[in-house]
């Protein structure tokens, strides 16, 4: 039975930075079961005091409690620091050194990251998402000239999540197109994609994984048979090689990794919002 | 003309942690124009040496260069540290202290965060995304009992992005429903939503902002008129109040903030992938 430890992510805004940093560090300790709580929007001394009470209650059993905090307001931080917990604060750790290197004073204003959006960038992010939804699964051929990338793959290989992720997280215009049996039998790319060959990126999975996913969709169907999965994946890979389309076997990859690989491969600038 | 500084985000995997941490810190220095480069998948000494060359080239003009690095392999990090740059590394800063607090040795294995997905969690994330796409804009009434949250708002108030964000980033099953003029004239919630009242969350915007967004969609239309926007937003707000539906004016909020507020308000556990 693994050791349990309580972890709090504290923020004056969303808590995304505290969570991302904290989870990345905690992932280095996999014998411990972490019980995570995110407390966002701690933007007043009252909320800070209430947070300290919550944490001290959690710490009352005497076991070590860990805090990752990204609040920037000095008064609020000095209150949060009174918690009975180990306090990890990247602003404390890095801002003084950054001020030296950059020869600038920091703002000490809360919630710049993930804060009030620049309207133009917000629009472009929404446009990217709308484009990617409308160009999901080969729904339309219109406007592909605007696409940053066009993801190809057999059905159920994970085109949609990676495209929506790149749209939402990085403001990229992502289309995706399912390779059909017709494409595989003719062994040719759909005509309307030929002119956009440079935008194409292919996905494959292991046949076992694809079978498992399709089986959940249509149990016992030909579509879900191992033989059919092997056929489609093999044809897809040959197609990618024939047309020099970069591709990856994403069986063991997270959506974030697939997206990063595609952006890296295509030299796409990743915006952060 | 603002001071320019080059920033590199280095990682053995996606670079998401380095970017999130770095951008959050850099957002405290808004008089400086940062030129950001993310170099992911630095997972071999060769790639590390190539990275150092890239960075030293960027630093050759003598201006300070900043690195945020989250690689965990000691050999790779020792190579990266040879770069002519200020090196910020949360693993160096925090892992020793975490090892003390947790009384455990860390793994020093790369890419646990955003790394190879647990199949079950991957599935639930994909299921959440599929559910949210199928339940976008009131497309279907089926399966609403499975929804974690149902977002209500007049057309173009930003229901879709926040729902897809919560699905992709936190594995939540999110439906959204557009309040129509019919709903507003009857001043009643759609019948099929009544039984799910406890799952509802409302959005409004400022009328000026909504007009601006709709104007881009349908210039000069009644739909985009300030008067129509005022009417719909006013009716929506009254509806939220009448049925005790929590709501927020998201005019000045980012997608991340709206999502965080909804999850916080509804007590929804946020998964991180």
Nearest chain B Cα distance for residue A195, angstroms = 29
pLDDT of residue A120: 76
For residue A10, give Cα distances in angstroms to A51, A87, B99: 9, 10, 21
Above 70 in pLDDT, residue A252?
Answer: yes
Interface test with A, best of B4, B12, B13, B14 (most A CBs within 10 A): B14
Q: What is the pLDDT along chain B (273 residues), one digit of tens a residue?
A: 789 999 999 999 999 999 999 999 999 998 899 999 999 999 999 999 999 999 999 999 999 999 999 999 999 999 999 999 999 999 999 999 999 999 999 987 655 555 555 677 788 899 999 999 999 999 999 999 999 999 999 999 999 999 999 999 999 999 999 999 889 889 899 999 999 999 999 999 999 999 999 998 899 999 999 999 999 999 999 999 999 999 999 999 999 999 999 999 999 987 777
| Same structural domain, B126 and B258 | yes
Q: Is residue A117 very low, low, confident or very high in pLDDT (cuts 50, 70, 90)? A: low
d(CA A89, CA A101): 19
Name the residue among A205, A106, A144 with its Cα closest to residue B117.
Answer: A205
Annotated binding residue at A27? no
| Same structural domain, A153 and A56 | no
Instruction: With residue B38 as reference, give the H or E element that holds it.
Output: strand B32-39
| Same structural domain, B91 and B124 | no
| Same structural domain, A125 and A36 | no
CB A156 within 8 A of CB A236: no
pLDDT of residue A124: 87
Read off the pLDDT of each residue in A66-91 and give the average, rounded to a whole number: 96
Read off the pLDDT of each residue in A111-125 and give the average, rounded to a whole number: 68
pLDDT of residue B111: 52
Above 80 in pLDDT, residue A1?
Answer: no
**Terminal Cα-to-Cα distance of chain B (whole angstroms):** 40
Our separate counts of H helices and E strands in chain B read: 11, 8
How many Cβ atoms sit within 10 Å of the Cβ of residue A178? 17
Higher pLDDT, A66 or B114: A66
Q: Structurally, how many domains does chain B consist of?
A: 2
Task: Please say which residue of B59, B75, B102 terminates a domain.
Answer: B102
Model pTM score: 0.91
Residue A78: both structure tokens together: 């000095």
pLDDT of residue B31: 87
Instruction: Decide if B94 is inside a domain.
Output: yes
Instruction: With residue A155 as reference, give the H or E element that holds it.
Output: none
CATH label of the domain that carries residue A225: 3.40.50.300
State residue B82 phi and psi, 5-degree precision.
-75, -5
Q: Helix %, strand %, coil % for chain B, to 5?
A: 50, 15, 35
Angle at B255 between CA A163 and CA A98, to 5 degrees: 95
| Same structural domain, A183 and A219 | yes
List the single residue in A17, A129, A261 with the smallest CB-CB distance to B24. A17
| Same structural domain, A142 and A226 | yes
Q: To the nearest whole number, what is the mean pLDDT of chain A? A: 93
What is the separation of C-alpha A98 from the centre of its chain, rounded to a whole number of angstroms?
27
Instruction: Decide if B114 is inside a domain.
Output: no
Question: Residue B150's beta-bridge partner residues?
Answer: B175, B200
For residue A268, give Cα distances in angstroms to A144, A170, A235: 16, 10, 27
Task: Please say which residue of B102, B132, B158 terminates a domain.
Answer: B102
Query: Max CA-CA distance within chain A?
Result: 69
pLDDT of residue A110: 59
How is the beta sheet containing A86-88 ordered, strand by strand?
A32-39, A3-10, A65-69, A86-88
pLDDT of residue A108: 73
Task: Please say which residue of B53, B72, B102 terminates a domain.
Answer: B102
pLDDT digits (tens, 9 = 90+) for A10-51: 999 999 999 999 999 999 998 899 999 999 999 999 999 999
What is the separation of C-alpha A214 from the centre of its chain, rounded to a whole number of angstroms?
24
Instruction: Decide if B111 is inside a domain.
Output: no
pLDDT of residue A272: 72
How many Cβ atoms sit within 10 Å of the Cβ of residue B87? 18
What was the ipTM of the complex prediction?
Answer: 0.90
Chain B neighbors of A97, CB-CB under 8 A: 86, 88
CATH label of the domain that carries residue A56: 3.40.50.1860
CB B110 within 8 A of CB B72: yes
Instruction: Decide if A145 is inside a domain.
Output: yes
| Same structural domain, B132 and B61 | no
| Same structural domain, B19 and B81 | yes
d(CA B269, CA B246): 18
In SS3 terms, A191-260 reads as HHHHCCHHHEEEEECCHHHHHHHHHHHCCCCCCCCHHHHHHHHHHHHHHHHHCCCCEEECCCCCHHHHHH
| Same structural domain, B249 and B138 | yes
Instruction: Decide if A148 is inside a domain.
Output: yes
Instruction: Decide if B244 is inside a domain.
Output: yes
Read off the pLDDT of each residue in A113-127 and give the average, rounded to a whole number: 73
**Full domain range(s) for residue B135:** 119-266
| Same structural domain, B130 and B255 | yes
Instruction: Decide if B35 is inside a domain.
Output: yes
Chain B neighbors of A29, CB-CB under 8 A: 98, 102, 104, 106-107
Instruction: Decide if A112 is inside a domain.
Output: no
Nearest chain A Cα distance for residue B258, angstroms = 9
| Same structural domain, A132 and A96 | no
pLDDT of residue B271: 75
| Same structural domain, B128 and B256 | yes
pLDDT digits (tens, 9 = 90+) for B72-121: 999 999 999 999 999 999 999 999 999 999 999 998 765 555 555 567 77
Q: At what angle do helices B16-26 and A16-26 cross, to 10 degrees?
A: 140
Nearest chain B Cα distance for residue A128, angstroms = 10
């Amino acid at each position: 039975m693994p050791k349990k430890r309580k972890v709090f992510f504290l923020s004056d805004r969303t808590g995304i930075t505290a969570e991302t940093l904290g989870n990345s560090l905690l992932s280095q300790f996999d014998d411990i079961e972490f019980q995570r709580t995110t407390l966002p929007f701690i933007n007043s001394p009252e909320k800070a005091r209430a947070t300290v009470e919550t944490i001290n209650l959690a710490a009352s059993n005497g076991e070590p409690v860990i805090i990752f905090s990204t609040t920037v307001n000095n008064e609020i931080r000095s209150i949060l620091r009174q918690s009975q917990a180990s306090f990890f604060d990247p602003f404390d750790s890095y801002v003084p050194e950054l001020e030296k290197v950059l020869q600038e004073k920091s703002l000490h204003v809360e919630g710049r990251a993930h804060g009030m959006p620049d309207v133009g960038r917000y629009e472009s992010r929404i446009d990217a998402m709308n484009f990617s939804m409308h160009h999901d699964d080969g729904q339309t051929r219109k406007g592909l000239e605007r696409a940053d990338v066009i993801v190809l793959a057999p059905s159920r290989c994970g085109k949609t999540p990676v495209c929506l992720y790149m749209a939402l997280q990085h403001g990229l215009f992502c289309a995706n197109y399912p390779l059909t049996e017709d494409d595989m039998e003719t062994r040719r790319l759909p005509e309307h994609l030929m002119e956009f060959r440079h935008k194409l990126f292919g996905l494959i999975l292991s046949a076992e994984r694809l079978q498992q996913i399709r089986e959940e969709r249509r149990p016992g169907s030909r579509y879900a048979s191992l033989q059919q999965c092997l056929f489609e994946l093999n044809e897809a890979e040959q197609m990618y090689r024939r047309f020099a389309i970069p591709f990856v076997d994403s069986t063991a990859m997270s959506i974030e990794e697939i997206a990063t690989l595609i952006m890296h491969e295509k030299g796409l600038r990743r915006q952060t919002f």
